[in-house]
Amino acid sequence: MKFYNRQQELSRLGEIAALAQQSSHLLVMAGRRRIGKTELIRQFAAGRNDVLYLFVSKKRTQALLEEFRDILAERLPLFKAATFRSFEDFFVSLFRIMKEKPQIIVLDEFQNFATVEPSVFTTLQNLWDREKDRITGAFVFIGSVHTLMKEIFEGSKEPLFGRATARLNLEPLAPDAVAEILTDHGLRATAQLPFYDALFGGVPKYYFLADRYRLYGKAPGAIIRTLYTERDAPLQEEGRELLIEEFGKNYHLYFTILQVIAGGETQMARIADRAGVNVNSISKYLEELVSYYQVIERRVPVTETDPGKKIGRYYLKDQVLRFWFRYIFRNQSLIEIGDVESLTAKIIQDLPTLTGKSFESLVRGLLTRVNSEGRLPFRFSRIGGYWNRTGDIEIDIVAFNEDSGDVLWGECKLNGNKFSAADALRLKEKAAKVPWRKGSRRDNYALFSAGDLSAGRKEALRRAGLIPLDLRDLLEG
């Protein structure tokens, strides 16, 4: 599968490399596993002879030093007879090379040094502080365990605190890039994007897996069966592989909370009740999942000016984790007995609910791009959803301009052709009850449909005072 949509990140690496010709830099690159950090470096290094890539595997110290020595020897024959007695010897050699000419030294899964040899961090601090003005080139430290990388470089008492000169955090691919992947695999992106987005989000590795297993064009049940529900399916342990190292010994508690949130509970009291956690204790765990682990997010109505109000709701940020906790972790009994058919059928039956919720986030992402292109009636400064304390008013999309008072109220539907004039009236009635700048705002209304809207339905919606937009409009303009 080809490389997609990392031009901005490649450009950033190129800028650092150019600066490193005359000075030293320490770049910290982070992002969740499977996001494509290693592939990004591989693409960047193609055609260059100044990039040295080293993977920090969890081996005994001497075994890893010998591996690194062999890699160095391939580039510089003088290292064939070298013997590194410690990582200090190894890094001293790297700094010596960088005094002679610029080198870009990449250490992948850098956080593994915490297990292999924790003294590496102090060694690097001492060498960096002493030699950074005498060397040229860059160290690129890549990490997948968010909590460890954050502690290593942001912990005020840690040796490498404050040493990074640049940071690069890899985010999931944008919906446009996912649509390009689907198109390149012979699919009609506007029809398939909601399903694949709910299943994989924007994480490149999962699309590579679908390509490797020749799943593009297959029915949803076949895709889910192959990747998730069959015995030894490649993603059956995905949640554990992504999070157990992050959570440590408390992972059972966090996993239970995440299962409840993935199942649709978003309010603190209800999460506590379903997870069997005292309501007075749940806020601590939720705050850790939001701020420290950054696995979930707390949302408030987009019009709310006080983010601390108790009207907040909690959501998993990652679509794959949402899918895994909602269906795989929740149904371990079916997995243990190998009842592939029942589990797959259960997922397919509920999947429209999950896809509908994911579609709301997908629309927000696409609207952000459309907004920058000036294709809406006004340019919004904020976008999100709205709900009131009692929960009787909920609006999927609310985008507004804080200066002009223009606002767009929108509903998201997988099949917008079923959205009637009565539904349009209900949307307007709900919007009328929202107090934000009431009496001094300009209201606009929209329907966002995953499926293609017929010409007749679009005309009917326009007559009802709505802007009709389907995925084809949002993707293709």
- Asked if residue 123 lies in contact with residue 88, where contact means CB atoms within 8 angstroms, the answer is yes
Are 137 and 202 found together in one domain?
no
Are 344 and 214 found together in one domain?
yes
Domain edge (last residue) among 118, 146, 169: 169
pLDDT at 79: 82
Residue 361: inside a domain: no
Are 136 and 224 found together in one domain?
no
pLDDT at 477: 65
CA distance 105 to 349: 49
Residue 120: inside a domain: yes
Residue 362: inside a domain: no
Number of domains in the chain: 4
Are 68 and 135 found together in one domain?
yes
Are 21 and 141 found together in one domain?
yes
CATH for 268: 1.10.10.10
Domain edge (last residue) among 136, 169, 202: 169
Distance between terminal CA atoms of the chain? 27
pLDDT one digit per residue (tens) for the chain, 477 residues: 788 889 999 999 999 999 999 999 999 999 999 999 999 999 999 999 999 999 999 999 999 999 999 999 988 887 887 889 999 999 999 999 999 999 999 999 999 999 999 999 999 999 999 999 999 999 999 999 888 999 999 999 999 999 999 999 999 999 999 999 999 999 999 999 999 999 999 999 999 999 999 999 999 999 999 999 999 999 999 999 999 989 988 899 999 999 999 999 999 999 999 999 999 999 999 999 999 999 999 999 999 987 777 889 999 999 999 999 999 999 999 999 999 999 999 999 999 999 999 999 999 999 998 998 888 889 999 999 999 988 889 999 999 999 999 999 999 999 999 999 899 999 999 999 999 999 899 999 999 999 999 999 999 999 999 999 999 999 986
The label of the residue with tokens 């609310």 reads 398
Are 151 and 39 found together in one domain?
yes
Are 350 and 423 found together in one domain?
no
Residue 96: inside a domain: yes
Are 124 and 179 found together in one domain?
no
CATH for 408: 3.40.1350.10
Beta bridge partners of 26: 139
Residue 364: inside a domain: no
CA distance 56 to 235: 24
Residue 363: inside a domain: no
Are 155 and 13 found together in one domain?
yes
Are 349 and 321 found together in one domain?
no
Are 328 and 380 found together in one domain?
no
Residue 321: inside a domain: yes
Residues 229-248: b if buried by 16+ CB within 10 A, e if exposed? bbeebebbebbeebbebbbe
pLDDT at 146: 87
Are 432 and 468 found together in one domain?
yes
Residue 367: inside a domain: no
Residue 216's domain comprises: 175-231+340-356
